Amino acid sequence: MIDFMPDRLRRLDETFARFPIYFVTACTHKRAATLNDSDVHNCLIEFGQNGAEHGAWLGAYVLMPDHLHAFVAIDDERQILSSWMKSSKNSLSKVLRDKSILPPHWQKGFHDHVLRSEDSYSEKWQCVRDNPVRARLTNEWADWPFTGEIFDLEFERSTT
């Protein structure tokens, strides 16, 4: 740990063992309800599984009709979160185009939050997974067919 670091910044030294876990949200253009589709979901699963080859790990996610929530870890210095988001949006857009849904498909940009503790990961996931229930799309979060986890992302505290 850096000895001269102000107290308010010392917690940053304990944030990650190696690579951060991001919580990201991307919304469809004009909040169009186009994502709650089995083909879109299958594309996201395939994209997430292939991401490991490129240093990006898709953890838990929820596809809502008009937005995506996901936990992502990036472990390759060449890969950055914005590149991963651009690629994921492009992949899902291809499926939407194949279904004759004309672009634009996505709002510009995305929202991201770096998780700082195991508690925030658990709390954030509990909140996110209940989105379909709060939206009255299902009675139980586990019954929503457009949710899952590709890789089990573990939060680890830094020992430095």
Q: What is the pLDDT of residues 38-74, one digit of tens each?
A: 999 999 999 999 988 888 999 999 999 999 999 999 8
Nearest to 23 by CA among 117, 156, 137, 138: 117
Q: How many CB atoms lie within 10 A of CB 81?
A: 17
Asked if residue 81 belongs to a domain, the reply is: yes
Let me know if 129 is exposed, middle or buried by CB neighbors in 10 A (0-12, 13-18, 19+): middle
Neighbours of 19 (CB within 10 A): 15
Whole-number pLDDT of residue 5 = 38
Q: Check which CATH number belongs to the domain holding 57 and give it.
A: 3.30.70.1290
Of the chain, the percentage scoring pLDDT greater than 70 comes to 82
User: Does residue 39 form part of some domain?
Assistant: yes
Q: How many residues are recorded in the chain?
A: 160
120 versus 31: the higher-pLDDT residue is 31
**pLDDT band at 7, cuts 50/70/90?**
very low
110's tokens: 């995305």
Q: For residue 66, what are the domain limits?
A: 17-149
Does residue 159 belong to any structural domain of this protein?
A: no
154 or 67, higher pLDDT: 67
Please enumerate in sequence order all residues whose Cβ is within 8 A of that of 12, keeping only pairs 6 or more positions apart, or say none. Answer: none
* Domain-embedded: residue 118: yes
Phi-psi region of 31 (alpha: psi -120 to 50; beta: other; left: phi over 0): left
Query: How close are the terminal C-alpha atoms of the chain, in Å?
Result: 6
Q: For residue 10, is it within any domain?
A: no
Under DSSP, is residue 107 helix (H, G, I), strand (E, B) or coil? coil
- Name the domain count of the chain: 1
